[in-house]
Amino acid sequence: MSAETSIPPPRSDGDAVPDDAVRALLDDSPIGFALMDSTGRIIAANRLVAEVLGRAPELCPGHEPVELMRACGVPAAGSAVAERAEDRVVRVRHRTDDGRLWDLTWFPVVDPVTGDPRLALIAIRDGGGVHRDEQRLRALLQIGNQVVWTADARGEVHEDSPQWRNITGQSTQDYLGRGWLDALHPDDRASVERAWDDAVLDGTPFDALFRVRTRSGGYDHFRARAKPVTEGGAPVEWVGSLVDVTTEREADELRRRLNQQLSEAAMRTARLQQATSDLAEALTVDEVVAAMSEIGRSGVGADHISVVLLDRNGARLDTVVAAGAYPLPRASFPLGHPEISALAIAERAPRTAADPAGLAALLEDASAVEELVRLTPERAWAALPMMVAGRPIGALRLAFTAPREIGDEERVFLEALAGQCALAIGRAALYEQEHNTAEELQRSLLPEELPDVRGVRLAAYYRSGSRHVQVGGDWYDAFPLPDGRIAGVLGDVMGKGIPAAAGMSRIRNALRALAFSMPEPADVLTGLDRMFSATEAMDQVTTLVYFVLDPVTGQLDLSNAGHLPPLVVAGGTRPSLLDTDPDTPLGITSVRGHHKFFVQPGNTVALYSDGLVENRKRSVDSGLEELVDVASSAPPEVVGDPQQMLEYLVESMLEGYEQDDDVTLLAVQLPVIESVADR
């Protein structure tokens, strides 16, 4: 209730009073009325005010009341009043030269259309009709949707307000004093009463928004404003207005809810798009569950997310939870077990429970609910079936540690999320099956174990670099020759998949056959060139290093078909790369070189694929330099054990890099202690 009075705006429901009627009412009123702008100049005046000012009504606009009073020789009793009335109601008594006594009241008002500040002047001739004139003026000011009310200096309502009582249904006695507060909403009363007490105590304007209980039992929103009327600087009473703002508040609330719904819808759409992206990168079931855990937490605030999958027979359910999540009482259970995810799968429809009591009712008071609540912090649940090609493969299960309802919009979001999860799970299951098959195929093409040759220690290492279902082209082999020497080879067939694996298998078998008939490395590679030209595609580039080692003499004969140079690690000197220029890859006809070296006891010769030294962030040349540096830093116990040496090289070379290719190594070592006297 602001102390700032305002001319009420016309009603917007079709009951507006025409301007002509208002003018007629003002002109016929026994009360003088004038409206001034913020500078104190008259905008409009009725007949009685013009009479006091000594001018015709149409000649008053544009002049200050004091100016006109002086012009007609009337003592300007109110000359200083207009300035003081800019922020409060000011009343004076004024006697004109004809002896008539007038009550002049200046007070601030607000233009209801523009909101501009105005001043109003009311002139009331003292006499028996004053009370009636005030009632008429009050009715005039209440043409709009406002309730005018008054209170004494202590803030106690002392005049009846039929409009208020018509709204609230209160009796006069119920309304007077502080009784009007009883009609306020219980949640608003304390704050409004405190604000009213503060305004009365300090003599400052009162302005509050609150809900009022109507006679129908509902609540409407009102804005109350009031200002004190002062005499001698002290408040003598309060004058205020009450305006129904229910329509505005409801419109604001509707806009707020609409904006919130649009914002939430946009957020859910963004989260669903992010979920689609995250799930597309998940290749295994565990990765899918990990991605779903992040999406469930950020999307709906779920505290625990799991994926429950049907086994191949469709009779049991297996639960997969993200790493670090608390376990559920049963990781595996039959389809008929009283569990919300099993119910969602069986009925092929989403199922939710807002609290333990709701879950007990959903599962018909099963003892499993009591067990679940006792062993986990879960207090609300949602389960959504995951369907692929019209049949269920499992359910997406979400749990919350506090009771909560799942709204319709959240349910739609979760159903879409479950659909994405079902596709990702189906893809991940297929990937895992095919990837396992591919790995088995890859390893089947490599020797199950290396030969045990007296005087020689052999070691091998293989790590797949493909996260996808493809077989790599790296391979190695080692076998004893009839003359007592040991043969070894490491190669790389360009490409992935079955064609690379098939080519690798053919080259491996052909090399073994050639090695037994013409063991010298250059002859073997020349024979492979002829075979390669006859059986392999020209774009299937293959590189390899093939060697033959005599354990007695340490002589190593080697040919290199476009492959990386072998690494030699010695205990007493710095490791080095064998200084040999590689020949062309297989299939490209050239004269094959033959290189002869001697391996000292305790030295290790290591062959390796390019996945060890080359990746997206490291070139081959820098990788080869780093390989020598890493080998030179190997501890003595590592240098003395070829298997440890290979593992050390792999871990050191791949540290800090993302592996994007297969890594394959083969090492041969002549031990220091062991010697070969006989062959």
- Residue keyed to tokens 């759409």: 269
Summarize pLDDT for 471-505 with one digit per residue, the tens. 667 889 999 999 999 999 999 887 666 666 777 77
Where b means 16+ CB within 10 Å and e means fewer, 133-155 reads beebbeebbebbbbbbbbbebeb
Lowest mean pLDDT among 3-7, 300-304, 618-622: 3-7
Q: Report which of residues 255 and 62 the model is more confident about.
A: 62
- HSE-up (13 A, CA, CB side) for residue 514: 22
Q: What percent of the chain has pLDDT over 70?
A: 80
Q: CA geometry: angle at 532 spanning 528 and 538, to 5°?
A: 145
- Residue keyed to tokens 């099993």: 342
Summarize pLDDT for 623-651 with one digit per residue, the tens. 999 999 999 999 999 999 999 999 999 99
Alpha helices in 478-520 (DSSP H): 497-517
Position 213 scores a pLDDT of 94
CA separation for the pair 588, 530 (Å, rounded): 10
Could you tell me how many residues make up the chain? 679
Position 621 scores a pLDDT of 92
- pLDDT band at residue 15 under the 50/70/90 scheme: very low
Position 132 scores a pLDDT of 52
> For the residues 406-427, what does the mean pLDDT come to?
84
**Under DSSP, is residue 601 helix (H, G, I), strand (E, B) or coil?**
coil
Mean pLDDT across the chain, nearest whole number?
82
> For the residues 78-101, what does the mean pLDDT come to?
64
Intra-chain end-to-end CA distance of the chain, in Å: 114
- pLDDT band at residue 116 under the 50/70/90 scheme: confident
Asked if residue 140 has pLDDT above 60, the reply is no
Asked if residue 402 has pLDDT above 60, the reply is yes
- Residue keyed to tokens 């009335």: 85
Cα–chain-centroid distance for residue 124?
67
Q: Report which of residues 133 and 625 the model is more confident about.
A: 625
Q: Report which of residues 151 and 106 the model is more confident about.
A: 151
Lowest mean pLDDT among 3-7, 315-319, 443-447, 516-520: 3-7
CA separation for the pair 420, 390 (Å, rounded): 14
Instruction: Say which DSSP state 184 is in.
Output: B
Position 625 scores a pLDDT of 94
CA separation for the pair 306, 344 (Å, rounded): 14
With beta carbons less than 8 A apart as the criterion, state whether 206 and 240 touch.
yes
Asked if residue 608 has pLDDT above 50, the reply is yes
Provide CB contacts within 8 A for 657, sequence distance 6+. Answer: 615, 617, 618
Q: pTM for the full model?
A: 0.45
CA distances from residue 54 to 98, 265, 389, 549, 626 in whole angstroms, order as listed: 11, 68, 95, 133, 108
Summarize pLDDT for 149-197 with one digit per residue, the tens. 889 999 999 888 888 998 999 999 999 999 999 999 999 999 999 999 9
Summarize pLDDT for 447-469 with one digit per residue, the tens. 888 999 888 999 999 887 755 54
CA separation for the pair 523, 78 (Å, rounded): 127
CA distances from residue 659 to 158, 437, 603, 614 in whole angstroms, order as listed: 87, 21, 28, 9
Give the strand order in the sheet containing 146-152.
146-152, 234-244, 219-231, 206-213
Tell me which residue of 239, 242, 178 sits closest to 210, measured CA to CA: 242
Provide CB contacts within 8 A for 602, sequence distance 6+. Answer: 570, 571, 640, 669, 670, 671, 672
Tell me which residue of 13, 340, 323, 292 sits closest to 144, measured CA to CA: 13
> For the residues 357-378, what does the mean pLDDT come to?
91
Position 258 scores a pLDDT of 65
Position 80 scores a pLDDT of 47
Q: Which amino acid is at 458?
A: L
Where b means 16+ CB within 10 Å and e means fewer, 261-286 reads eeeeeeebeebbeebeebbeebbebb
Position 134 scores a pLDDT of 53
- pLDDT band at residue 23 under the 50/70/90 scheme: low
Q: What is the greatest pairwise CA distance in the chain? A: 152
Position 150 scores a pLDDT of 87
> For the residues 506-510, what does the mean pLDDT come to?
86
Task: Give the DSSP letter string of 413-477.
Answer: HHHHHHHHHHHHHHHHHHHHHHHHHHHHHHHHTS-SS----TT-EEEEEEE---SSS----EEEE
- pLDDT band at residue 77 under the 50/70/90 scheme: very low
